[in-house]
Structures are given as C-alpha cells and as structure tokens.
Structure 1
C-alpha cells in the first residue's frame, strides 16, 4: 500500500468512527481569533470532522493563503491538517515555511495522482483551490 493510500485510509477510518485525529505538540493551543497570532510557538492539533470537513479549530475558511513570514491561524490550520494526514510539515508553528510548502506540494501532487489529471496547481500553498481538498475526508 502506498503512503498516500495509507494516509487516505487513516482519514477515512477516523471519519467513519467519528473520532478526532490528534497531532502532539510541545505547547498548548493558541489564540483562535483573527488571522495573525503574536509569535511562533508549537501548537497542538486535534482534527475533527465537522459537517464532513476536516477542522483543527484555528481557521475555518477556504480562501486565505498562509504567510511564510508571520504566524497566521490559516498557517496553523493547514499545518495541522497536513501533519494529521502524514505529510511532514515540521513544527506546527503557523509560519508556512520551507517544510510546510514541501509537504503541501506533495499533497497537491498526490491529489493530482488520485484524480489521474491535474486538478491542483503544485505551488506549495493552500489557497482557494487547495483548501477544499485539504478539508475533505477521502
């Protein structure tokens, strides 16, 4: 079984059981309001199935592109989801840097492989096109 199929199988099983996927971190969860959070630290992640969509509780939208220069709630959310799916983002710190972009590029590539065609641009950033695929349990 490929790594991608293992990741997908894990998410499908968790969704079917109605359980949350937890990703350990060294610090407690941070502020959840607004797009920008004060400083970089490690955030804890717990992915929940809310109305059939993956949610970590930091950002609920589908349009914000996380920043590579500052901590954002969208960055924390994307890192949590990617990490729960088995993509190595490095520390979940809300800064969408090199590791996070590499993990996102791999996710985008895997989605394209699953569909057998290009459905996502492989740019390494979650944006309006990629967020719905990140949030979907498949």
Structure 2
C-alpha cells in the first residue's frame, strides 16, 4: 500500500506544480497583452506628437527634424498631384462614357483608405 500512497503523493505534487506553472504562464500572457496595449498608446502619442510638430514647425523645422519634414511635405505634394491626375482621368472617362455615372465609393486604389478618417487639412 505504501507504493500507492507514494504514487498518489507524487501525482498530487506534480498536479500542483502544473497548476502553478499554468498560473504563471497565464500571468505572463496577461502582462504581454497589457504591454502591447501600452506600446500602442505610445505609438499613437508619437504620431500625434509628430502631427503637432509638423503643423507648428513644418515650414521651419529644427535641423534634426528637417529631413523628416521634407519627406512629409514631398509626400503630401505627390498625393495632391496624384489626386489631381485621378480627377482628370475620371473627368476624361466621364466624357467618353457619355451619361455613365460613377457611383463607386473611394477605395485604396484611389489612394484613399475607407477605414481611415481624412486628416485635418491644417497641417
């Protein structure tokens, strides 16, 4: 009988170790999830900080930020040129289609992500 008692005791110890390890892994997973949320908060704050800086100092940035501000300005110019070209192509397509209306919603092919709200044009 001592063999079975010893076996039951070892099995119980092993079960307790397993439960403790499960709790530890669950806590680690929870903390990793919290950290991912905090990293997202930081990323959003950095983006907002950049938007504010560009809005306030984009035309005369400090030297350390000038290259990034120039990239943003060049990208905005390219976007505007592309939008003008898209409008021009659509106008040409409308005159060729004579009476056909375009009712499609903006898509990513148009350079517009329907899931992202438009930016404030004050930048």
- TM-score bin, normalised by smaller chain: under 0.3
Q: Name whichever structure is richer in helix by fraction.
A: 2
- Hey, which of these two has a bigger chunk of strand by percent? 1
TM-score norm. by structure 2 comes to: 0.24
Larger Rg: 2
